[in-house]
A = this chain, B = another copy of it.
Amino acid sequence: MLSKNISFRINMFSKEIDELQLSEEYNLLGGRSLIAKILLDEVKPTCNALGPNNKLIFAPGLLGGTIAPCSGRLSIGGKSPLTGGIKESNVGGIAATKLSKLNIKALIIEDKPQEDKWYIIHISTKGVEILEEAEIIGADNYFVSEYLLKKYGNKVAIISIGSAGEKQYRSSAISVTDMEGLPTRHAARGGLGALMGSKRIKAIVIDDTGAKNTLIADSSAYKEISKKWITELVATKKVLTTKGTANLVTPMNELGCLPTHNFREGNFASADAIDAESLQKTIKERNGKQGIPCHPGCVIRCGKTYNDAKGNYITSGMEYETIVLMGSNCGIDDLDTIAKMNRICDEIGIDTMEIGVTIGVIMESGMIAFGDKEGAINILEEIKKGTVFGKLAAQGAEITGKALGVSRIPTVKSQGISGYDPRGLKGTGVTYITSPQGADHTAGNALPGRVGYRHETEEVLDVQKPEGQVALSRDLQIMTAVCDLTGLCFFVGTTKSNMEIIAQLLNAKFGINVNIDNVVKLGQDCIHYEKEFNSMAGFNEAHDQLPEFFYLEKLPPKEVEFDISEKEIRKTLKF
């Protein structure tokens, strides 16, 4: 098998850097599955996530750096400071492609410095260096990327943390620069920014100047498969190109599963103020853009820029989950407010989802009212300033809710539930409950129309009926893991036919001969590693449940319940 296999161990205590080849058993592991296996093999699951024994791993996928469409996701992982379990968060931007071109399979960052200094890591064809850095400590992500691009050349990729990561807040993200050099892409979930902060790494600079193209065993076959797939994706994913992920606001609101007022309702009266049409209109009026690819080779192009009323750039975020969790979930019906909040999150590097859920919980406590726009922005300002209350809020919904005495805290495994109420979108609810990643729609989002790869779930289910949801979530979780381990954006579609295409691409790239069953097995193995790690980290079946209020309260206006039995749930990841 043709395998690129250079990895680096970077020890932040000793400052030793080892270039190594991972053993053969790691050959068909990449991105998320590579991270899971390394963590399982090397990290004691009960370690303090912010202590010296945790590791921070960066890994592009098996198809990274190639012309395969949307193959430039970067997986980042470690033991999560937020959940205490395993965590992989993947992100677009230009870093993964450059790592792949440099032939790098993984960066494994170990231990932590004892001295009171901060560092950046510089990666190029000459190897890896740890460099002291003092100028940009405390700085926000925009400043950091501008500064480093000036210093190291405007073609480099920057991976960085803002002040939130430096302060090891459990909601902090790791940011990656996009094709414009802006730090707009975030590996947001699970507090990995805090893990990077604990290693005292402010940024990683990746310079692929002089790097050769990724090796491909049968490049003409690879090209052919890729081209055909690109054509198909361009034709079928138009809604994401023109409207972005915000296209979901209206259907989710109509379905009655739009998180509203801290998951009290599934329908937001002012949804039209924050829907894709409003967003599109505002973007257009203010000379913002839509249809931006987040990494080279992305043909779906769901990115956008959102400007203020004067036409000045604010953020490239405004994803569905951000809009909904900071919007309807907080009773906020104003895109400019959400954009301001999103911008602060970009700057200081925190997860818009976790903080959206946290603000909802703070509103639930009565400290500020639902719909209080200034109050919501002020919470983010407090996080930025590092006040005691800001520190608290920055630890996420679970800790904040407990501190404020809130009983309705929408988290699973201490991670805030994403932008879909599990009572109204039951398959996604099963994913929240069972995914080793904690509540996370990106682990297997059972949107209307989704089908599995097995016979039993090859029919379209009613998303609000319990039947078949466990099998559907299982299939989607496995296929999503396949995307995450190959470095593909899961927006290509977690479908059986795509699993076939992935098998073909792997064969062409590595000169191997795998079929769809083998590919599915790669996804299954990934989830097995993750579950095994979690079990040793202290999770058992009791952690596979929604917060109690989801079982006690029906979700208006459709009055739907989460009516999938525990017995059924426990079958989800048994394979």
Contact = CB atoms under 8 A, between A and B. Distances in A.
Interface of A: 45-48, 50-53, 167-170, 367, 388-389, 391-392, 395, 399-400, 402-405, 407, 535-540, 542-543, 545, 547-549, 552
Given A167-B405, A403-B399, A46 B391 contact: no
A404 B538 CA distance: 23
Given A48-B547, A538-B543, A539-B538, A169 B399 contact: no
12 contacts: A46-B542, A47-B548, A51-B548, A51-B552, A170-B402, A388-B392, A389-B389, A391-B403, A391-B404, A392-B403, A399-B403, A538-B539
Contact of A548 (B48, B399, B402): B48
Given A391-B403, A392-B403, 5 more contacts: A47-B548, A388-B388, A395-B403, A399-B402, A538-B539
A409 to B, nearest CB: 9
A334 to B, nearest CB: 26
B548 A407 contact: no
Contacts of A539: 538, 540
Given A389-B388, A391-B405, A395-B403, A542 B552 contact: no
A388 B404 CA distance: 7
B388 A367 contact: yes
| Closest CB pairs A-B (n = 4) | A538-B542, A48-B548, A392-B403, A46-B542
A442 B143 CA distance: 54
Where chain A touches its partner, the secondary structure class is: loop
Contacts of A542: 45-46, 535-538
Given A51-B552, A389-B388, A547-B48, A405 B169 contact: yes
Contacts of A402: 170, 395, 399
Nearest to A388: B389
A150 to B, nearest CB: 31
Contacts of A407: 48, 50-51
Contacts of A537: 542
A367 B386 CA distance: 12
Nearest to A409: B48
Contacts of A167: 405
Contacts of A545: 46
A549 B53 CA distance: 11
A537 to B, nearest CB: 6
Nearest to A170: B402
A458 B170 CA distance: 48
Contacts of A548: 47-48, 51, 53
Contacts of A405: 167-169, 391
A543 B552 CA distance: 29
A536 B540 CA distance: 8
A392 B388 CA distance: 10
A402 B549 CA distance: 25
**Which of A46, A47, A52, A548 gathers most chain B CB within 10 Å?**
A548
A47 B367 CA distance: 26
A391 to B, nearest CB: 6
Nearest to A543: B538
Contacts of A535: 540, 542
Contacts of A391: 403-405
A45 B543 CA distance: 11
A407 to B, nearest CB: 6
A545 B547 CA distance: 26
Contacts of A53: 548
A6 to B, nearest CB: 32
A53 B548 CA distance: 10
A543 B168 CA distance: 23
Contacts of A403: 388, 391-392, 395, 399-400, 403
A50 B406 CA distance: 10
A47 B538 CA distance: 18
Nearest to A547: B48
A145 B225 CA distance: 80
A149 to B, nearest CB: 30
Contacts of A538: 539-540, 542-543
A392 to B, nearest CB: 4
A18 to B, nearest CB: 23
A536 B566 CA distance: 13
Nearest to A197: B405
**Which of A48, A167, A535 gathers most chain B CB within 10 Å?**
A48
